[in-house]
Amino acid sequence: MNSKSSKTRIRAAVVTGAALVTAASVTAGVSAAGPRPEAKPSKAQVASLFDRWNAALQTGDPEKVAKLYADDAVLLPTVSNKIRTDHAQIVDYFEHFLANKPVGKKVRTIVNVLDRNSAIDTGIYQFTLTDPKTGKKRVVEARYSYEYEKRGGQWLIVNHHSSVMPEG
């Protein structure tokens, strides 16, 4: 074998190896510029985060509801004058609120997707509440805003404001 033919085979092997590495990188979703950025969530995906929260309410477990909030979340709740700024305070609020067996339903929603890791959902919702003593049901309409951030791969509530409609 001559040296020219040997060099040609080495070049061919190097090119083939580089092509295989490139193909594997593209297949794995990695390019020379790095991993592809995650797409923004759709408005429907953000709006559905309310359904997850409402389902947690249905469990009657304040811890399950509070786990949907970031550790540094702020809650301005519907039926309390106290601003809740940590996990224990949020649990405390839901311990009392869940006694009314709330069932939420959105009336109007406006979603603003800010980027792939943050979004805001605002609008009007109503809750059917059941008085724990009498069993009597009543419907309360309220304004709401949820600010969500994706942290550690999970969408969490970082700011939640809810207030009874002033003209209702």
**pLDDT-above-70 percentage for the chain:** 78
Residues 76 and 163: beta-carbon distance below 8 Å: yes
C-beta atoms surrounding 62 within 10 Å: 20
pTM: 0.77
* CA 126 – CA 140 distance, rounded (Å): 5
pLDDT value of position 5: 54
H and E: helices and strands count for the chain: 5, 7
| Cβ neighbours of 16 (radius 10 Å) | 10
- Mean pLDDT calculated for residue range 39-53: 97
